Amino acid sequence: MKTLTLIPLFLIVLLSCRSSKNLTPNPENYQHLDINGFANELLNGWGTFNTKEFNDYVPHSYHLNKIELAKHIEKISADSSSAFKGLIILGPMSFLWEYRTIYIQEHYTDSSKMIVNFLQFPHARITYKATNSVDISQVDSLITSIKNTQFIYSGLPSASQFNEKDILDIDSKFDLLILFKTNNEFQYYWGYIDDSPIDEIGKILTGSITTYNH
């Protein structure tokens, strides 16, 4: 199976930038280890005081389900003020039931760029986070590659495709889910890592700066 790799560089010192877009997570959600708290971890490219608390053995700590998480991100990003642009979820993979997420949003200060946040989530723990800044053209190129890949399917898979009754029960049946927001409309794609344009996905992570490693 093809995998994504990141080369840790150094801890980033973050500037307290602000934008007219809704880029700032809600601190109240940090009190929780539910899907709301996890969504805030995606939006944050750096480690928070809540990051280390996610744990498979902690009651009610979030366990990732690709469709559930993507639908939640769509819901909270529906407002036109949201800076959200894309979400890529890979997994589960390996015996640790590992997921890797890539969250794309508008840049804080540069309209020609996008911010790309990476999070690694094995065994329901957040073990690694990184952030990157890329040209919009790179994200556009990735979207084009996804649309033109033969075995990446548009929309969401159905439960019946995998002989299941509930769509949330098919998470282990496929290992790639993508959500993009363009002109305030959401587009889903799904498939398998081995059939994906993994090199194009890797390009938007090239040069990422490690912000959390535990």
Indicate whether 61 belongs to any domain: yes
Indicate whether 130 belongs to any domain: yes
Indicate whether 183 belongs to any domain: yes
Indicate whether 141 belongs to any domain: yes
- Which whole-number Å values give the CA distances from 127 to 17, 75, 108, 122, 124, in the listed order? 26, 26, 25, 7, 9
Indicate whether 4 belongs to any domain: no
Q: pLDDT tens, 19-43? A: 334 444 444 444 589 999 999 999 9
Confidence band (pLDDT; 50, 70, 90) for 106? very high
- Which whole-number Å values give the CA distances from 104 to 59, 95, 101, 152, 173, in the listed order? 30, 27, 10, 19, 25
Q: pLDDT tens, 109-126? A: 999 999 999 999 999 999
Indicate whether 33 belongs to any domain: yes
Domain assignment of residue 49, given as a range: 27-213
Q: What is the DSSP letter of 83?
A: -
Indicate whether 45 belongs to any domain: yes
Domain count, the chain: 1
Q: What is the DSSP letter of 206?
A: T
Whether the predicted pLDDT of 12 surpasses 70: no
Torsion of CA 187, 192, 197, 200, to 10 degrees: 70
Indicate whether 35 belongs to any domain: yes
pTM here is 0.86
Q: Report the share of the chain in percent with pLDDT over 90.
A: 79
- Dihedral class, residue 207 (left if φ above 0, else alpha if ψ from -120 to 50, else beta): left
Whether residue 118 contacts residue 102, with contact meaning beta carbons closer than 8 Å, is answered with yes
